[in-house]
Amino acid sequence: MSADAIRSARAYLLRVAEPPASALWRFVAEHGPVEAARRVRTADVPDRVAAETAARRQLDLATRDLELGAAQGARLVIPEDDEWPAWPLLSLEVATGRGVEGMAPPLALWVRGEAVLDDVLAFAVAVVGARAATDYGESTAAEFAYELTDAEVTVVSGAAYGIDGAAHRGVLAAGGVTVAVLGCGLDVGYPAGHVGLLNRVVQRGAVISEYPPGTQPARHRFLVRNRLIAALTAGTLVVEAGRRSGARNTATTAGLLGKAVMAVPGPITSAMSVGCHQLVRDSQATLVSSVSDVVDTVGRLGSGLARRGAGARRRTDGLDPESLRVFEALPSRGGRSPDAIATESGVSLRRVRAVLPALELDGLAQRCDEGWKQRNDQGASRRRGDDDHDPRVGRGDA
Amino acid sequence: MSADAIRSARAYLLRVAEPPASALWRFVAEHGPVEAARRVRTADVPDRVAAETAARRQLDLATRDLELGAAQGARLVIPEDDEWPAWPLLSLEVATGRGVEGMAPPLALWVRGEAVLDDVLAFAVAVVGARAATDYGESTAAEFAYELTDAEVTVVSGAAYGIDGAAHRGVLAAGGVTVAVLGCGLDVGYPAGHVGLLNRVVQRGAVISEYPPGTQPARHRFLVRNRLIAALTAGTLVVEAGRRSGARNTATTAGLLGKAVMAVPGPITSAMSVGCHQLVRDSQATLVSSVSDVVDTVGRLGSGLARRGAGARRRTDGLDPESLRVFEALPSRGGRSPDAIATESGVSLRRVRAVLPALELDGLAQRCDEGWKQRNDQGASRRRGDDDHDPRVGRGDA
């Protein structure tokens, strides 16, 4: 099956079903995208898939969408691509497997931007909040975003006015990488006042949408989009939220997906902090008042962010001395057998065998043909086009 | 044993041991205050009691202290008095019984003020916080205190500048009853700038101390005093607190005593909210942003405050219809047998027998010689000198 055929099939499928399309997602998982697309086209599908695709299955715009996207500087990233953010999106797969409604993983993602998706999303936190943010909220969002960038954490947000925009601006001010997830097509230019900001995000980060070119924004699409913001990150930070806020929806979804949910407190006199206080009071969110709190919270949930969110020096900070010795005995290229690692590190073979899988879970070691080696995907700033065979340079080394 | 002899013995004991004196407290509980005082005077006591009393046992100032107190408008309230706040102080007894250090109940309390202690402390919340409070903190403390008064909850605090003072002023502005607990003698006039405020507290509420007349303020006495603030209330609300704040000590003690601990959030940029945020983040305190949150939190901990903190109308608000019918079948004077209550209420005898003890726990019913009656100690504003045989009028009825 050619890569082009697969990409074309997914472009078609992304167009014919309104996300989240859980029956179609399962159908594709079962039959593969090309076969699934063929059967959707010919209406040779189970009822549940037909229900999701019947209205649009004639819209065979894959070639046009891919050409249009390319002309607009967008690419379609598919699960078959190396850069597909499989690990963060696993949470949606798990939730869907458990029958949670509305949590189907995306069939593919339209992306504009220089960032390599899986890299940039390896250590990410969502910064979300009210459109009608206060000065306090906007400056807090920008400050957190700036400091998260310093801590080598990628910021993910929407593209709305208020907190979303302030978060992206904070990252850009720090010279960092930021990701915006839209509830409309990448070419729609919504909201109009943020077109310039999104173009700046594209230069270093990524603007993402599962909606094909030309898809108009709609309230339900922002709610559906929120699941991607929650899923693509290790945790969601609500900076300001009114009593009924879309940000609270993202927070609830993040909780549902087992991600960290955090909220920034504010004056009790501020209507824009009511939602944050309610989340904390209801034990749905952890109160955070600094980026150090954020890293601590996300780290405590076992995502390993606190450890992995930095360069090689920092990502081993949480290791005990024995694990550190084993880690340092791992080659960065090629591989080494547990025996050789034991010799190199001076740690007993029995302990080496116990420590290696733990290092693997922490994202510090990986198995290879020759044994074990250091896992090198440490930076959040690998650009597309970087030579994958070069040692990757984290932002901390820049 | 005459009441005067007991009071005199306790005045003596209060003078000879620096609180909290757990060995002396246990000794008094075992032998009674008069016998305990006699044996302390003659040094006929176990080593642990001797350690607490040896330095001052010659200070036989009971008569002088009682006369001086009376001249200064203060009375010594002792556990043998009707107004002794036995129920709230039970938490100290329990903690001491469990061997928790520093939690000995007071041997007696010096009191200035019109309030009847057990009444005024039946439904109380501590409002505490930093001396160096911000405008936000002071206005929040005053506002909460004002609204707690409206909700028929007594405010208890220290007498410091900042949050303490703002809380008392908020109650006084609402025409309510407030209680100040001091870490020095009632006649010491500390802090100097709050002498006028404390005199106003005395007019409707109470100023309390376990320290005999003339005892000078000292840092350790404020920490010891904090256990009384925590114990005398159903919960402690920290309005503002820096990283190291005495208010956090009170909060920790309240938690230790099984009382509700609450904290008001504020801007993350405010150093005076750091302690509050830390308490919430560490799950030591529940975030509250309104008095309704406070009543809800304290009520949830089973103190019954939410239900009992109001007049007759309100205190039955939480009852299910069946319990309400049983309650309404209870006479306010005399008593009625379960049989007669079943007839009156139309609720089965079996259910009446189940509901009555629950109403008793809720403070709504009490056993008497003739059976059961409504429990009437509902108001927080009974004044000393009110005829105890009159139906008591809650503030809600004023």
Q: What is the pLDDT of residue A301?
A: 55
Q: What is the rounded CA–CA span in Å between residue B107 and residue B80?
A: 11
Task: Please report which confidence band the pLDDT of residue A7 belongs to, taking 50, 70 and 90 as the band edges.
Answer: very high
**Bridge partners, A236 (sequence order):** A126, A261
Q: Which CATH class is domain A109-308?
A: alpha beta
Q: Rounded to a whole number, what is the distance in Å from the CA of A324 to chain B's nearest CA?
A: 30
DSSP string, A28-87: HHHH-HHHHHHHHHTT-S-HHHHHHHTTTTT---HHHHHHHHHHTTEEEE-TTSTT--HH
ipTM of the complex: 0.73
Residue A196 Cα to chain centre, angstroms:
23
Query: Positive or negative CA dihedral for A131, A134, A135, A137?
Result: negative
Residue A336: strand pairing partners = A372
Q: Residue B293: which of A266, A281, A290 has the nearest Cβ?
A: A281
Domains A109-308 and A312-377 share a fold: no
DSSP state of A227: H
Higher pLDDT, B190 or A303: B190
Using an 8 Å CB-CB cutoff, list chain A residues near B290.
268
Domain boundaries B313-377, corresponding CATH code: 1.10.10.10
> What's the whole-number mean pLDDT along residues A188-196?
94
- Our CA-based measurement puts residue B299 at a distance from the nearest CA of chain A, in whole angstroms, of 15
Strand order from edge to edge, sheet including A109-112: A74-77, A109-112, A206-209, A178-181, A154-157, A124-128, A235-238, A260-263, A286-287
Q: What is the mean pLDDT of residues A288-317?
A: 66
Q: Do B281 and A288 touch (CB under 8 A)?
A: yes
Can you give the pLDDT at residue B300?
Answer: 59
> pLDDT tens digits, residue range B199-253?
999 998 999 999 999 999 999 999 999 999 999 999 999 999 999 888 889 999 9
Compute the nearest-CA separation of B290 from chain A (Å).
8
Put simply, the answer to whether A266 touches B264 (Cβ < 8 Å) is no
CA–CA dist B260, B256 (Å, integer) = 10
Q: How far apart are CA B233 and CA B127, in angstroms?
A: 10
Rounded mean pLDDT of A139-166? 97
| pLDDT score, position A354 | 79
Q: Which residues pair with B286 in a beta bridge?
A: B262
Cβ-Cβ contacts under 8 Å, A277 against chain B: 265, 287, 289
Low-confidence ranges of chain B (pLDDT < 50): 302-314, 378-383, 385-398
Beta-carbon contacts of residue A64 (< 8 Å; ≥ 6 apart): none
Poorest-confidence range of A245-259, A266-280, A382-396, B73-87?
A382-396
Task: Judge whether B268 and A264 are in contact, CB under 8 Å.
Answer: yes
- Does A133 contact chain B (CB < 8 Å)? no
State yes or no: pLDDT of A305 exceeds 60: no
Determine what percent of chain A is predicted with pLDDT higher than 90. 71
Please list, in sequence order, all residues whose beta carbon lies within 8 angstroms of the beta carbon of residue B9, skipping any fewer than 6 positions away. Answer: B33, B34, B36, B37, B38, B62
A312-377 in CATH: which number?
A: 1.10.10.10
Q: State the DSSP code for A371.
A: E
Instruction: Output the pLDDT for position B377.
Output: 53
Q: Tell me how far CA of residue A325 lies from CA of A305, A317, A357, A367, B33, in angstroms.
A: 21, 12, 14, 17, 66
Nearest 5 degrees, angle CA A92-CA A95-CA A101?
Answer: 100
Q: For residue B331, give how far its alpha carbon lies from the nearest alpha carbon of chain A (Å).
A: 40
Nearest CA in chain A to B281: A287
The predicted pLDDT at position A310 comes to 36
Q: Quote the pLDDT of residue B394.
A: 31
Chain A residues closer than 8 Å to B298 by CB: none
pLDDT number for residue B193: 95
- Per the prediction, chain A carries an average pLDDT of 88
pLDDT digits (tens, 9 = 90+) for A317-357: 667 767 877 888 888 778 888 888 877 777 778 788 878 87
How many residues does the structure list for chain B?
A: 398
Which of A140, A273, A287 lies closest to B281 in CB terms? A287
Locate tokens 């209330």: which residue?
B233
| CB-based contact, B274 to chain A, within 8 Å | yes
Distance of alpha carbon B360 from alpha carbon A91, whole angstroms = 50
A contacts of B273 (beta carbons < 8 Å): 265, 289
Q: Where are the domains of chain A?
A: 3-97, 109-308, 312-377
Are A289 and B266 inside 8 Å of each other by CB? Answer: no
pLDDT class of A384 with cuts at 50, 70, 90: low
Q: Is A121 exposed, middle or buried (0-12, 13-18, 19+ CB in 10 A)?
A: buried
Calculated CA dihedral for residues B281, B283, B287, B293, nearest 10 degrees: 170
